[in-house]
């Protein structure tokens, strides 16, 4: 079935809510407004106000309330308008959701999904444009999922809802309208299993969420203009990470570029680069390259915004560096 990313997410939640009465959705404007990005379209009508809950504007409120409900067996899906505002709820996410099971000696579990839009859209400035996955993967106790396609969005969200641990589910703000083929019904993708999004032999690009599409565009250009064959690997879940699929690809191509929308310092790409050099050091024919955002808060002015974020030319240049083209620059 052809669906948009937003419809695929909606289908995942709706199917899980129909299957399991303990699942419910809560957040700012998820009911009557149908979600800031219209992900919960029609759900209030279908499931009623007890299970599709509009809350006051208080992120630490609804995440905290969700943790409490989860501790006694409900399965809350908490929608944040954007992950930027998860920072208002950070104590509930990191100090509580992530640690309740461990601190209670396993007596309480917190099967919550915290989901919403992440990454930059266009011209939304410093407080609306952040990629925070490395912050969540840094903290023990959280699973972090970042789908790039409608099919992955559905399959991963269904699995995340059934998972017994807190899952941080970061959606691409610019992907909601993207169309793709989505399997009907019981389509479940295990957390921790990546996918090769494009096969190739000269270099591996590792990318997730929106960056997968940037990597694919770069791969196409590299093939068209430079006759290079690039493989694109999408881990899909950042934690747990499918290390194997990345190592297998790099062992084949001998080169690796990690593209992420976030900042470079302590970025997910740093961890992936470490694992690649540890796992397949002898297979590498060039230093691992990274493409990230510039280490500054996002500006508003369009010409500056374009400079900050990863772009196709930056990815193309990084791949060519791993192949010592352009005089090794």
Partner 1 sequence: MAHPVRGAIALPGPDDPALATYRVLDERGVADPARVPEVAPAEWLRMYRGMVVIRTMDERLMAMQRQGRIGFYGEARGQEAAVIGSAAALGPDDWIFPALREAGAGIFRGLPLTAYVAQIMGNAHDPGKGRQMPCHEGTRASKFVTMSSCIATQLPHATGMAWAAKIRGDKTVVAAYLGDGATSESDFHVAMNFAGVFRVPVVFVCQNNQWAISTPSTAQTAAPTIAIKGRAYGIEGVRVDGNDLPAVHRVMRDAVEKARSGGGPTLIEALTYRLGAHTSSDDPSRYRDERVTDEWKARDPISRMRNWLLSQGLLDAAGDEKLRADVDAEVRDAIAAEEGVEGPPVHSLIEDVFAEVPRFLEDELAEMTGSGS
Rounded distance between C-alpha atoms, residue 14 and residue 23, angstroms = 10
Rounded distance between C-alpha atoms, residue 169 and residue 118, angstroms = 9
User: Is position 28 an interface residue for partner 1 (rule: CB under 8 A)?
Assistant: yes
**Choice between 82 and 149, CB closer to ligand TPP:** 82
Quick check: 144 and 163 in contact, CB under 8 A? no
CA distances from 259 to 142, 145, 210, 264, 304 (A): 22, 16, 10, 10, 20
Active site residue 254: no
302 SS3 class: helix
Active site residue 128: yes
Please choose, from the candidates 191, 186, 201, 111, the residue with its C-alpha nearest in 3D space to the C-alpha of residue 147.
191
Rounded distance between C-alpha atoms, residue 115 and residue 68, angstroms = 17
At 170, give phi and psi (nearest 5°): -100, 120
Per CB under 8 A, which region of 81-89, 98-106, 154-162, 236-244 contacts partner 1?
A: 81-89
**Choice between 12 and 318, CB closer to partner 1:** 318
**Choice between 31 and 141, CB closer to ligand TPP:** 31
Task: For 20-58, give the DSSP string.
Answer: -TTEEEEETTSSTT--TTSTTTTHHHHH-TTTEEE--S-
User: Is position 325 an interface residue for partner 1 (rule: CB under 8 A)?
Assistant: no
Q: How far is the CB of 161 from ligand TPP (least distance, A)?
A: 24
312 binds, among ligand TPP, partner 1, none (CB under 5 to 8 A by kind): none
Rounded distance between C-alpha atoms, residue 163 and residue 5, angstroms = 21
Quick check: 12 and 158 in contact, CB under 8 A? yes
140 SS3 class: coil
124 binds, among partner 1, ligand TPP, none (CB under 5 to 8 A by kind): partner 1
Q: How far is the CB of 40 from partner 1 (least distance, A)?
A: 12
196 binds, among ligand TPP, partner 1, none (CB under 5 to 8 A by kind): none
**Choice between 88 and 294, CB closer to ligand TPP:** 88
Q: How far is the CB of 192 from partner 1 (least distance, A)?
A: 32
Number of residues that bind partner 1 (CB under 8 A): 38
User: Is position 243 an interface residue for partner 1 (rule: CB under 8 A)?
Assistant: no
Among candidate residues 7, 28, 59, 261, the one labeled active-site is 59
- State both tokens at 68: 């409490």
**Choice between 64 and 200, CB closer to partner 1:** 64
Q: Which residues contact 311 (CB under 8 A, 6 or more apart)?
A: 214
| Per-residue binder mask for partner 1 (CB under 8 A), 141-170, x = binder | ------------------------------
User: Is position 324 an interface residue for partner 1 (rule: CB under 8 A)?
Assistant: no
**Choice between 29 and 305, CB closer to ligand TPP:** 29
33 binds, among partner 1, ligand TPP, none (CB under 5 to 8 A by kind): partner 1
Query: Tokens 């208080």 correspond to what residue?
Result: 58
Q: How far is the CB of 34 from partner 1 (least distance, A)?
A: 9
Q: Which residues contact 186 (CB under 8 A, 6 or more apart)?
A: none
Active site residues: 59, 128
* Residues within the interface to partner 1 (CB under 8 A): 28-29, 32-33, 36, 54, 56-61, 84-85, 87-88, 123-128, 264, 294-297, 299-304, 307-308, 314, 317, 329
């Amino acid at each position: 079935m052809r669906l948009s990313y937003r419809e695929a997410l909606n289908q995942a939640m709706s199917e899980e809510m129909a299957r399991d009465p303990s699942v419910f959705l809560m957040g700012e404007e998820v009911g009557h407004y149908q979600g800031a990005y219209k992900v919960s379209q029609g759900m209030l009508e279908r499931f009623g106000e007890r299970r599709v809950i509009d809350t006051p504007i208080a992120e630490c409120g609804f995440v905290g309330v969700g943790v409490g409900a989860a501790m006694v067996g409900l399965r809350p899906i908490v929608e944040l308008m954007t992950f930027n505002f998860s920072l208002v709820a950070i104590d509930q996410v990191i100090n509580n959701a992530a640690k309740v099971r461990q601190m209670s000696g396993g007596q309480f579990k917190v099967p919550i999904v915290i989901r919403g839009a992440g990454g930059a859209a266009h011209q939304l400035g410093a407080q609306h444009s952040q990629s925070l996955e490395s912050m969540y993967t840094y903290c023990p106790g959280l699973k972090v999922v970042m789908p790039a396609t409608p099919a992955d969005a559905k399959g991963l969200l269904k699995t995340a809802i059934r998972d017994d641990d807190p899952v941080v589910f970061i959606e691409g703000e610019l992907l909601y309208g993207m169309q793709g083929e989505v399997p009907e019904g019981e389509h479940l993708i295990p957390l921790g299993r990546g996918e090769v999004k494009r096969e190739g032999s000269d270099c591996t690009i590792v990318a997730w969420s929106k960056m997968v599409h940037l990597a694919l565009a770069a791969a196409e250009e590299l093939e068209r203009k430079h006759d290079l064959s690039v493989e694109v690997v999408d881990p899909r879940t950042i934690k747990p990470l499918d290390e194997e699929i990345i190592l297998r690809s790099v062992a084949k191509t001998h080169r690796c570029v990690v593209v992420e929308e976030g900042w470079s310092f302590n970025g997910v790409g740093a961890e992936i680069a470490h694992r690649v050099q540890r796992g397949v050091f002898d297979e590498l024919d060039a230093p691992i390259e990274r493409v990230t955002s510039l280490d500054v808060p996002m500006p508003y002015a369009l010409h500056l915004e374009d400079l900050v974020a990863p772009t196709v030319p930056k990815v193309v240049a990084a791949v060519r560096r791993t192949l010592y083209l352009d005089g090794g620059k």
